[in-house]
Structure 1
Amino acid sequence: MRWWNRKPEERARWTLDPLVGVGPLRFGMSPDQVEAALDGAVAYVSQSTENRLSWQQYGDVGVTAIYGQGPRLAAVAIHALDGPQVRLRDTELIARVPSEACSDIQDLARREGVAVRVNWSGDPEVEAWGVSMGAAQEWGLSPEGFAQRGDRVITDALLVGPELAGDPYGAEPVVRWRDVREREPNPGAWPVTADRDRPRWDWAPLESVGPLRFGMGPQQVAAALDGEASAARKGHYPWSWRSDGAGQWYLDEERFDRAGVTAHYWYPAGTPALGAVTVHGRTGPRVAWGGIELIGRTLSAVEAALIRYLEDHGTDLRVGCGGDLGPDGSHLYVRAARAGDAVVSEARFCAPGWEDHG
């Protein structure tokens, strides 16, 4: 049963035994033992790296089992939307408003005399418990019964054994499941720039957004952004299965914090060319389409306005990865960016032929 059919009261209720296990799962279990503990649940998604099982996702349970050497269970990710309700002492951890969960975690930590730090996503992490909190966008069902994105986030969690507790997301088993080393670290705050402090950019569908034209190379992108140096760059080697970084490194994207955009590259002629631009929801320039302000707004309001406009003009709606909505043929996708307990709208603008994978 997936989240769209699972009512909150139908979620399993698990207890966290810090650094030992959660619910029926114990760190150190083999994959067969994990399956048996989950009453024979089937892992519909799994990944192996270098001929070794890395992780298995149990969609019907709402958890992901992450394996270290052996393979042996090293960590358990509890999904926000459909995972079990996990309790630590008197504190509920999952599917909560993040700020409220954080307050309760801080209070429990003070009572037990343990330290709380901020992890990569800006959420609380407690080494003494092997807990690293996170958040995912809430989804629900529309009155018509369709899945739709919400305007807030709810908590999920990564729970680890003692070997990984010092740095859960930096540990090798976890990196193979979710590598966050190239993501922008969050200090625990999500300021949203006021409209008056954002420049206005125009958008020419399939051609350009603001000063950035599709097809530009990285140096041209930097020059168009007044010489701003990228705050972070992300790329890949041609053989993802090799761990030695063999072959030429390919630039995939650059993040520009002052401009509030990310440039995405592809290689239609063998060299990096600008194929898409993400305008950040919290800090990016203002961009409008059809009179609809796309950036830094309440997501549901932007999506409702977009759908009304398309219906009025007889244009089809396109749904991208992650539920992103956009007008058919424009290669525009309205996306969501976390802003504390809520989300705000952002957008990705793409060149013709760009296949957006989220």
Structure 2
Amino acid sequence: MSRWTRKPREGRARWVLEPLLGVGPLRFGMDPEQVRAALGGARVSPSRTSGGRLSWQRYADVGVTAIYGHGRGHVRGPRLVAVAVDPWCGPLVRLGDVELIARVPSEVRADILDLARSAGVSVRSNWSGDPEVAAWGLSMGAAQERGTPPEEWTRTDRVITDALLVGPELAEDPYATAPVIGWYDVREARPNPGTSPLPPRERTHWAWTPPAGVGPLRFGMSVNQVSAALGGEAPAIRRGWNLWAGRGAGPWYLREEQFDAAGVTAHYWSPEGPPTLAAVTVDGRTGPQVDWDGIRLIGRSVSEVDAEVIRRIEERGLEWTVHCDGGPGPEELNMYVRATRAGDAVVSGARFFAPDWEDRGR
């Protein structure tokens, strides 16, 4: 979910979830004007359309995103089918006696399991490893906790819960439907395994050589060269995109390959011709250890690594910047610290990239 301005708990609204009917003042089936009126005329920023039809609207002041489907038959126009609640500034939603938002995920899971047992409904795990209850139209999630103003970009070492709340037509598989995919496509997300990171002694060590590459990987390598450099490992996941041409999908372009055994993701670009390696993300849970100027970057407390990296950058007279996913790094060296979820916590990873590569933060 998006990084909005953080609100203290005492300044947040308190809503009640009425399963499959609505949450707080919102009711599934409302049109966009009814949603806005129910939210007291809150400002919309931003919104998204797909195929000329409204897909979702974000209400930053309230901390929710309204997701719309489009009715058939006598029901015309967009209708509210789902509500995503932000963990940092959204309303504190309650289901029965269970508070769902901005809490420790494992604690919320335990409370949901207790409530589900008493109600006689089943609980499953969703794409992120968090609880999902079709009978309640509830799919939990989590995001990294942030610092308080004025240093909201700072990151903590824990995650807090958010939620996707849906109407009856989406309850069986909320994240697999077109309205929700248009807001957040989990096919592009890495599942949370909920396991602890590898200890240092079980990690290989890679050298970082800016701006050439990291470990055995060098920017500019072909797809086959990347696999060969990783000992012939085949990627567990390949992601890409289609170039749309005319009325249909055009050629498919490879964007990244995920190598689970090595604990890295290779990112490609293809400005002219076949794709070549442009960036490498080292996973905080399972990736190799990489050092920079005496700092171990991988598999540690994110807040500690952030602080050490910033201090070293300033000591060396370099400039530092916060990248699109919230991690700091030396602007001149094309690296920044990333965070990998591991259950209720996060551990540090890193991304290394070639000059002029456009980083989209995924």
> Could you say which TM-score interval applies, normalised by the shorter chain?
over 0.9
* Number of the residue aligned with 1:206: 211
Deviations 1:55-103 (A, max 9, x none): 0011000000000013100000000000000000000000000011111
- Is the partner of 1:132 in helix, strand or coil? strand
* Number of the residue aligned with 1:162: 168
Any residues of structure 2 matched to 1:135-154 within 5 Å, and which? 135-141=142-148, 145=151, 147-154=153-160
* Number of the residue aligned with 2:74: none
Deviation at 1:271, TM superposition (A): 1.6
- The residue identity in structure 2 corresponding to 1:109 is A
- CA 1:177 to 1:282, structure 2 compared with 1: closer, same or farther past 3 Å? same
Is the aligned partner of 1:54 residue 2:55?
A: yes
- The residue identity in structure 1 corresponding to 2:251 is Q
Deviation at 1:181, TM superposition (A): 2.2
CA contact (8 A) 2:240 2:253 kept: yes
Deviation at 1:313, TM superposition (A): 1.6
* Number of the residue aligned with 2:95: 88
- The residue identity in structure 1 corresponding to 2:34 is Q
CA contact (8 A) 1:4 1:147 kept: no
Q: Distance in 1 between matches of 2:6 and 2:63?
A: 13
* Number of the residue aligned with 2:180: 174
- CA 1:41 to 1:278, structure 2 compared with 1: closer, same or farther past 3 Å? same
Q: Distance in 1 between matches of 2:345 and 2:322?
A: 22
Q: Return the match for 2:197 from 176, 192, 195.
A: 192
Is the aligned partner of 1:340 residue 2:343?
A: yes
* Number of the residue aligned with 2:306: 303
Q: Distance in 1 between matches of 2:37 and 2:189?
A: 35
- Is the partner of 1:147 in helix, strand or coil? coil
| TM-score normalised to structure 1 length | 0.95
Q: Distance in 2 between matches of 1:54 and 1:240?
A: 22
* Number of the residue aligned with 1:11: 12
CA contact (8 A) 1:182 1:232 kept: no
CA contact (8 A) 1:54 1:176 kept: yes
* Number of the residue aligned with 1:66: 67
Q: Distance in 2 between matches of 1:252 and 1:241?
A: 22
CA contact (8 A) 2:337 2:349 kept: yes
* Number of the residue aligned with 1:42: 43
CA contact (8 A) 1:49 1:241 kept: no
Comparing 308-317 with 100-109, greater Cα deviation is found at 308-317
* Number of the residue aligned with 2:73: none
Deviation at 1:189, TM superposition (A): 2.5
Any residues of structure 2 matched to 1:302-341 within 5 Å, and which? 302-341=305-344
Deviation at 1:182, TM superposition (A): 4.3
Deviations 1:34-64 (A, max 9, x none): 0000000111111000011000011000000
CA contact (8 A) 1:67 1:73 kept: yes
CA contact (8 A) 2:18 2:95 kept: yes
CA contact (8 A) 2:146 2:152 kept: no
- Is the partner of 1:9 in helix, strand or coil? helix
Deviations 1:291-326 (A, max 9, x none): 000000000110111122122221111221122111
Q: Distance in 2 between matches of 1:347 and 1:287?
A: 9
Runs of 5+ consecutive residues of structure 2 not aligned to the other structure: 71-76
| TM-score normalised to structure 2 length | 0.94
Equivalent pairs counted in the alignment come to 353
- CA 1:48 to 1:274, structure 2 compared with 1: closer, same or farther past 3 Å? same
Deviations 1:139-171 (A, max 9, x none): 1137x7453111111000000001100000001
Q: Return the match for 2:273 from 251, 270, 275.
A: 270
* Number of the residue aligned with 2:33: 32
CA contact (8 A) 1:4 1:140 kept: no
CA contact (8 A) 1:50 1:241 kept: no
Q: Distance in 2 between matches of 1:9 and 1:57?
A: 22
Runs of 5+ consecutive residues of structure 1 not aligned to the other structure: none
Q: Distance in 2 between matches of 1:111 and 1:287?
A: 48
Deviation at 1:8, TM superposition (A): 0.9
Deviations 1:216-261 (A, max 9, x none): 111111111111010001100112997x5x1100000000000000
* Number of the residue aligned with 1:114: 121
Comparing 67-76 with 232-241, greater Cα deviation is found at 232-241
Q: Distance in 2 between matches of 1:9 and 1:240?
A: 51
- Is the partner of 1:43 in helix, strand or coil? coil
Q: Give percent identity, aligned residues only.
A: 62
- CA 1:114 to 1:5, structure 2 compared with 1: closer, same or farther past 3 Å? closer
